[in-house]
Amino acid sequence: MNDNQFNGFFESILPDPRSEKRAEKIMVDLLNFGSVVVNKFCKTHTEKIGAYRMLGNNNYDHDDLAKGVYRSCKANVHNVHLLGIQDTTELNFTYHMGRIGKEDADIGPVTNNDNAGFFCHPMLVIDPSHQLPVGFSSINVWNRSWDKLSRHERDYHNQDIKEKESYRWIRSALETKELLAEDICITIIGDRESDIYDEFAEIPDGRTHLLIRSSINRKLFGEKQNLFEKLSSSTQKATYEIDIHSNPKRTKRKAKMSLKYEKVKINHPINRPKGNKPDYVEMWAIEARELPESVPAKEDPVLWRLLTTHSINCVEDALQYIEWYSQRWLIEELFRIIKSKGLCIESAQLEAGEGLKKLCILALQVALTIMTLKLSLHNTHKIKASLIFSEEHIRFLEVYMEELEGKTDKLKNPYEEGTVQWASWAIARLGGWSGYISQGPPGYITLKDGLVRFYDKSDSFQMALRYLSKKDVYKD
């Protein structure tokens, strides 16, 4: 395919044009076939050999591929304020160790020391005005060694932060600051693992803010109360309602929430080396706690405690920061797409850890495309379909749309022609979605299946056009 959404993705990054084109083709094929298994996303034996060679090429590594991902992210920035959502996922390849072997330096123990794999920690950049992903500003991929010392053996509490795995939260933020232009404001969002004093002290500046879920009842500078007690005893500023979706721990409901917030001075941890870090950092603390009247029996109330360097001047500010933090689910969805809900990267059948790490980088970018399609169906902003699809693909959709639409208004594509939403609706229909809004939106597996069928039909359409063109029957 000469015209695709990944054209030029690795230009001047990889050592030769053939490697660049092969990496682009693998991304296109991952999207086309919805699988990271080489035998599934390659049609011919020649393509399989080319994919294995690219993934096994020692002249570049996964960090080199990531440079193309970062460049794409930077090019997609069109807003002055962005959200940077970071988190860690574990990729487990234990069942493939018969092919890989423990001597591979790019595979090691994961959370369960008896299992093998590596970790991936991306920073997903979101445009809050469009509520759509922009790209990745940082991707840290690493593995532990089989002979790694225990926390006790390393004297973990006194170990320099740069030598700890937790430094990934700081490194990702620093890399994001370096990538984005100086006139861009970014709010770095992290879960409870990101509650790190060194991050509070090092990352914030005039254009970089933090929004972190608190996990530690921290001491406050110059006060007898700790953080959680101060918030608990604070005056309630407002109440509001949120919709709680069901999960194994939660019942679906409309929760009534109490909102509190206070300006606080977080004390430097007394049991950590201070170095040149300040005695305290000043932040705003937010508590959003579910009121007893909406908590079901035998369930704990919903409770969020957030720390932010953004100022809170009114209730609306605090509610805005809570809404921004709620976008953190997007990175969890992204992990599901590269794993169980889509590309199934842990089923990849490669024989080297570095090849799997390269595949991980490519899969992240492809998963982002799938996620953007799904999110666009809930979006009112008219983003052009060319963000994802080539001109040839859009042309095919214009022709094929009649086959996807029904006779009634309820089964007509409701979105403006040529937008991402318009294309996403068609992809979902190809994936088996009924098209009726009342029956719920399409899921990721539906969209992935729809993409596979879409590319198959589109390729056939383009072949037919080329055949007719040669016969001088079809003319533009």
What confidence tens digit (pLDDT) does each residue in 90-100 have? 999 998 888 88
- Determine the average pLDDT of the residues in 22-34: 89
| Per-residue pLDDT at 67 exceeds 50 | yes
Identify the pLDDT of residue 2: 42
Choosing among 3.40.50.880, 1.20.1440.230, 1.10.740.10, 3.40.50.620, the CATH entry for 377-470 is 1.10.740.10
Give the amino acid at 351: E
Find the largest Cα–Cα distance for the chain: 86
- Residue 117 per-residue DSSP state: E
| Per-residue pLDDT at 473 exceeds 60 | no
| Per-residue pLDDT at 40 exceeds 70 | yes
Identify the pLDDT of residue 410: 85
Identify the pLDDT of residue 247: 79
Identify the pLDDT of residue 439: 74
Identify the pLDDT of residue 99: 86
- Determine the average pLDDT of the residues in 38-47: 90
Identify the pLDDT of residue 448: 81
Alpha carbons within 13 angstroms on the beta-carbon side of residue 471 total 8
3-class SS of residue 267: strand
| Per-residue pLDDT at 295 exceeds 60 | yes
Confidence band for 310, pLDDT divided at 50, 70 and 90: very high
Both tokens of residue 384?
């052009």
How far apart CA 7 and CA 20 sit, in angstroms, is: 9
User: Does 2 or 465 have the greater pLDDT score?
Assistant: 465
Identify the pLDDT of residue 3: 52
Domain boundaries, the chain: 377-470
Identify the pLDDT of residue 134: 92
Both tokens of residue 126?
């979101």
| Phi/psi of residue 15, nearest 5 degrees | -70, -20
Q: Are 442 and 428 in contact (CB under 8 A)?
A: yes
Q: Are 146 and 177 in contact (CB under 8 A)?
A: no
Confidence band for 162, pLDDT divided at 50, 70 and 90: confident
Identify the pLDDT of residue 32: 81
β-bridge mates for residue 238, sequence order: 259
User: Does 247 or 324 have the greater pLDDT score?
Assistant: 324
| Per-residue pLDDT at 476 exceeds 80 | no
How far apart CA 86 and CA 205 sit, in angstroms, is: 18
Identify the pLDDT of residue 208: 97
Identify the pLDDT of residue 1: 38
Confidence band for 471, pLDDT divided at 50, 70 and 90: low
Average pLDDT, the chain: 90
Q: Are 288 and 304 in contact (CB under 8 A)?
A: yes
* Beta strands 303-308 and 208-213, pairing class: antiparallel
| Per-residue pLDDT at 48 exceeds 90 | yes
> What is the phi-psi region of residue 474: left when phi exceeds 0, alpha when psi lies from -120 to 50, beta otherwise?
beta
Identify the pLDDT of residue 4: 62
- Determine the average pLDDT of the residues in 430-435: 89
pTM assigned to the model: 0.88
List, as one string, the DSSP characters of 371-427: HHHHHHTT--S--BGGGTS-HHHHHHHHHHHHHHS-SSGGGS--SPTTBHHHHHHHH
Identify the pLDDT of residue 472: 59
* Beta strands 132-142 and 185-190, pairing class: unpaired
Identify the pLDDT of residue 52: 94
pLDDT above 90 covers a percentage of the chain that reads: 63
Identify the pLDDT of residue 93: 94
Could you write out the three-class secondary structure of 241-265?
Answer: EEEECCECCECCEEEEEEEEEEEEE
- Determine the average pLDDT of the residues in 422-439: 87
Identify the pLDDT of residue 404: 92
- Determine the average pLDDT of the residues in 426-452: 85
pLDDT above 70 covers a percentage of the chain that reads: 96
Confidence band for 441, pLDDT divided at 50, 70 and 90: confident
Confidence band for 156, pLDDT divided at 50, 70 and 90: low
